[in-house]
Each structure stands twice: as structure tokens, then as C-alpha cells.
Amino acid sequence: MTDYTIYASKRSEVSKSSRNMEHFVVEEDPDGSIAAAAKKELQELGYRVHGVIPRQVVEEEEDETAAPPSTRNGR
């Protein structure tokens, strides 16, 4: 599964400082279409989009066959 983080700032507040930067997270977007739509909507709302960063999410499953934690001195 892929999540995306969109970094953007209001056009009136654009500067080289990252203090004015906001980030928006799009979760569970396998093909990036939701992130693309969010980017377009942010631009329409007056934001300047600085980057859309994908992040692979690895879902961990509990291992039910794992051995119980060992005890001290074999007890």
C-alpha cells in the first residue's frame, strides 16, 4: 500500500522558509490518483504544491507461531 505526503504553502505566504509549509497526508492510495486529485484541489484553493512524496506502507501481521519470550535462567 502507498501513502502520499503533499507539501504545500499558501501562495501569499511562499518563502524559502519551511515554517510556512503545510503537509497533507493521503493514505492508502495504490495508484496515486487520489493524491493527484488532492494536489489539483489544493492548487485550486490557492496553495503552491512543493512536492508529492510517496511512502510505501508495509502492514505487519502478528506472528502467532512465535515462541514465547524466554525467561531468565531457563525458568
Q: Which pLDDT tens digits describe the chain residue by residue (75 residues)?
A: 789 999 999 877 555 555 678 989 999 998 999 999 999 999 999 999 999 999 887 666 555 555 555 555 655
| Cα(52)–Cα(35) distance, integer angstroms | 8
Q: And the C-alpha cell for 32?
A: 496515486
Q: And the C-alpha cell for 56?
A: 510505501
pTM: 0.65
Residue 23 domain flag: yes
Range of the domain at 42: 2-12+19-54
- Give the number of domains in the chain: 1
Residue 42 domain flag: yes
Residue 61 domain flag: no
Q: And the C-alpha cell for 49?
A: 504544491
Contacts of 17 (CB under 8 A, 6+ apart): none
The answer to whether the CB of 55 falls within 8 A of the CB of 4 is: yes
Residue 48 domain flag: yes
What single-letter amino acid sits at 55?
R
